[in-house]
Structure 1
Amino acid sequence: MNGWGEFILAGFAFLASHAIPSMPRLKGALVASLGARGWTIAFSTLSTVLLFWLIFAAGRAPYVELWPQDTWARWLVNFAMPLAILLGSYGVGAPNPFAFEGRASGFDPARPGVAGLTRQPLLWAILLWAGAHLIANGDLAHVILFGAFTLFTGAGMRALEARKRRVWGAREWQRLSAHTALIPFAALLSGRWRPKALPSPLRLIVAVVVWGALYYLHAPVIGVSPQP
């Protein structure tokens, strides 16, 4: 299968897989069967495989140009990706009850860590990745791909924040979020948050390694060089 058919099928498969967490009975059965850690590993692996399939399918779809690729747009991707990877590296598994990739244990509202920078670091990372690639790739398949990620990530960010507010209630939300912000650097610029510890060097090393791997493997794996 190739062309638009594969791209549509990959898109439906990716969307269907991400509907699983919103199905309590199905997710509960999977967690009971695999264990919490096994569920996380299995879902992360499935998501990664389907994402790569979707990206490859977009590359194999018929090329329909909507706007040309410009050098400045490729530079934009090269500036955005290190920021996105840093956000993802410091967000995944960090004490941060606001984000789905964070953990509730160990969170101190007075010392919110990465949540002081932004409550949704991974979603902002995805938004940066998708938004920059949307601008740089002007063919129809990639506009659909990255445009969908940009729209759904932005909408998902608002929906997740609203759900947390409802679940916790106004008073608990205010207590937990007093020194945080949704918009990156907003709490820092307003004076509501001041970093009280140096960032983890291990997470910085992970970010550098991931950036290097993505940069140098982009051409042989994706088929397009990231160089402007």
Structure 2
Amino acid sequence: MGALIAGVLLWSIVHLTKSVAPEFRESLQSKLGKGPHRGLVALLIIAAVALMIYGWRTAQFEFVYDPPTWGRHLNMLFMVFAILLFGAAQGKSQIRQWIRHPMLTGMLVWAGGHLLANGDSRSVVLFGGLGLWALISIFTVSRNEGAWVKPTETASVGREILGFIIALVLYGVLFMTHLYYTGMPLVGG
């Protein structure tokens, strides 16, 4: 469990540095240079993901709470929306007219859905920790950016439909391969 906790903490600290401690980040960037700083951040994020994967796979399953029976099905629906929000964060989208931080909101939906479906200690650490990181990030980034200025350009209806189709395809791929990258079957297990 220690590796999982370390991975979630490392992910959160590296990502929050920009919005919580911008002076420290700027100081480090000026000492290292912009390119090496980016490389260090990328290396730390890769290490965080590796720790989370290793920690998830090696941590003992311990019961924490009994998730609702409908939580698993609601989570499957939430994942479509999470993927759609992740995609909306990458470019023009009508979603950006309603949601200021679609990537972080997608992370909250992903984390919340998984907490509805899973009641074990690993899930609480991983999904609870990353959900908390996303929530803190929404507030700190918003505070630093000031008043929300909605994007003036949005995607066409065709582009929105294409984004939804891509989200459904990605959902299908992730659904079918979930067992291989998490060790947890979605059906029949």
> Which moved further from structure 2: 81-90 or 51-60?
51-60
Q: Which residue number corresponds to residue 129 of structure 1?
A: 110
The 5 A counterparts of 1:66-77 are: 66-77=64-75
Q: What is the letter of the counterpart of residue 83 of structure 2?
A: I
Give the corresponding residue for 2:34. Answer: 32
The residue number in structure 2 matching 1:168 is none
* 1:187 corresponding residue in structure 2: none
Do the aligned residues in 1 keep the contact of 2:78 with 2:113 (CA within 8 Å)?
A: yes
The correspondence of residues 78-97 of structure 1 with structure 2, limited to 5 A, is: 78-92=76-90, 94=91
Match of 1:105 in 2: none
Structure 1 residues 30 and 213, CA gap change in structure 2 (3 angstroms):
farther
Structure 2: segments with no counterpart, 5+ residues: none
Is the contact made by 2:8 and 2:130 (CA closer than 8 Å) also made in structure 1?
no
Residue equivalent to 1:191? none
Match of 2:169 in 1: 209
- Pick which of 10-19 and 119-128 moved more: 10-19
Provide closer, same or farther for how the CA distance between residues 114 and 221 of structure 1 changes in structure 2, counting only shifts above 3 A.
same
Q: Distance in 2 between matches of 1:199 and 1:34?
A: 40
1:218 to 168, 174, 178: 178
Counterpart Cα distance in 1 of 2:44 and 2:166? 22
| Contact 2:179/2:185 (8 A) holds in 1 | yes
1:7 to 4, 8, 28: 4
Matched length? 181
* 8 A Cα contact 1:20 1:26, kept in partner: no
Structure 1 stretches lacking a partner, 5+ long? 96-111, 166-172, 181-194
Matched-pair contact (CA < 8 Å) for 1:11–1:54: yes
What is the distance in 2 between the residues matched to 1:8 and 1:204?
34
Which of 126, 149, 156 is matched with 1:197 structurally? Answer: 156
- Judge conservation of contact 2:74–2:113 (CA < 8 Å) in 1: yes
Deviation at 1:209, TM superposition (A): 3.1
**Matched residue of 2:70: which SS?**
helix
Checking the alignment, whether the CA contact within 8 Å between 1:56 and 1:222 is kept in structure 2 is no
1: CA distance, partners of 2:28 / 2:46 = 20
Q: Could you say which structure has the larger radius of gyration?
A: 1
TM-score normalized by structure 2?
Answer: 0.76
The answer to whether the 8 Å contact 1:20/1:27 transfers is no
